[in-house]
A and B are shown apart, each in its own frame.
Chain A
Amino acid sequence: MNPPDDAWLDALLARGLKQEPLPDDGFTLGVLDSLTFRPATHSWIVLALAWAMAGTGIALGLSRSGAWEQIAGGWLPVVHLAAGILGDPWMSLVALAILASVALAWVPARSAFKYG
């Protein structure tokens, strides 16, 4: 229990240490921005690359088997073009990189959509 003459000190401390709130100055916005940004982790990179490779492989397989022609219908010229691009080893790499980028971009983008 406080001795009786401590009341003045308690009042003084309560008055003297109480301070005006710090202005937000964009602090809250910074925290919320950080919440919506999730850097891609290694597991996401591996997953995205695996997905991109599998997607490219399926696309190539379908092109060679002629299945696209049945699926595509009126879009056949476009499919032929895509198949030609994917059939080229260098272009396959480019396609793989694009697919991987889309997959990686989806991670932070998904958060952005979620949190508006």
Chain B
Amino acid sequence: MTPTDSELISLAVSSDDVGAFGELVRRHQSAVRRFLRHLARGNDSLADDLAQETFLQAHRGLSRFRGDAPFLTWILGIAHNHYRNACRRRRDEVPLEADEARMVYAPSLERRTDLRQDLSAAMDRLTPDEQLAVRLAFENGLSHSEIAALLQWPLGTVKTHLARGKDKLRELMSAWNPQI
């Protein structure tokens, strides 16, 4: 039987079992790296370096994991902190205007077959905070309160960003609405 995250964490903490921690890394590396790649906006090597630091810090602090939220939520929170610290160190956060200026593709008004391409273009029209909230909710399946805890935002802010993001997406992706 496949051990749960909680069982692996117990093994890693009580027996210093590196194999158990390795399994946790294998399970969650994709979500953590994707999350950081999104934040780093295409700088994959920076994202992967931050992901490695994230897991190393998680290992050091594993005994402090209380299990109030899923392990993935906890580790994405660490990843987010690492990204913010890296931005502070490098002072290279891309302002929203620049992000919008590099847009070269807009979602088509006619129904298309490439959902991912249309959605990716539509997502680029959202502010970074809206993108983050939408991705965490729909890509990672986190609840509003988990997103709030992870990003250290008030719950109302999460709901606002999600609602605004979805408002924009509803319009930008209207060609995909089967009711129209």
Q: Is the CB of B33 within 8 A of A34?
A: no
Residue of B nearest to A2 (CB): B166
- Chain B 133-180 interface residues, beta-carbon cutoff 8 Å to A: 134-135, 138-139, 166, 169-170, 173, 176-179
Q: How many residues of B contact A (CB 8 A)?
A: 32
B83, CB-defined interface residue at 8 Å = no
> If A6-B166, A9-B169 touch, does A27 touch B56 (CB 8 Å cutoff)?
no
Chain A residues touching B, majority SS: helix
Contact string, A4-41, partner B, CB cutoff 8 A, digits 1/0? Answer: 01101110111111110110100110111011100000
Q: Is the CB of A28 within 8 A of B22?
A: yes
Q: Is the CB of B29 within 8 A of A28?
A: yes
A115, CB-defined interface residue at 8 Å = yes
A1 → chain B, closest Cβ, in Å?
Answer: 11
Q: Please, how many angstroms separate the alpha-carbon atoms of A77 and B97 in the complex? A: 80
Q: Please, how many angstroms separate the alpha-carbon atoms of A5 and B119 in the complex? A: 18
B89 → chain A, closest Cβ, in Å?
Answer: 19
Chain B residues touching A, majority SS: helix
Residue of B nearest to A27 (CB): B29
Which chain B residues lie closer than 8 Å to A13 at the CB level?
A: 119, 134, 138, 166, 169
> If A12-B119, A12-B176, A16-B116 touch, does A31 touch B55 (CB 8 Å cutoff)?
yes
Residues of A within 8 A of B (CB): 5-6, 8-10, 12-19, 21-22, 24, 27-28, 30-32, 34-36, 114-116
Of the A-B pairs whose beta carbons lie under 8 Å apart in the complex, a sample of 27, sorted by A's number, is A5-B179, A6-B166, A6-B170, A8-B178, A8-B179, A9-B169, A9-B173, A9-B177, A12-B119, A12-B176, A13-B138, A17-B138, A22-B29, A27-B48, A27-B52, A28-B25, A28-B29, A30-B52, A31-B22, A31-B25, A31-B55, A32-B21, A32-B25, A35-B21, A35-B56, A36-B18, A114-B16
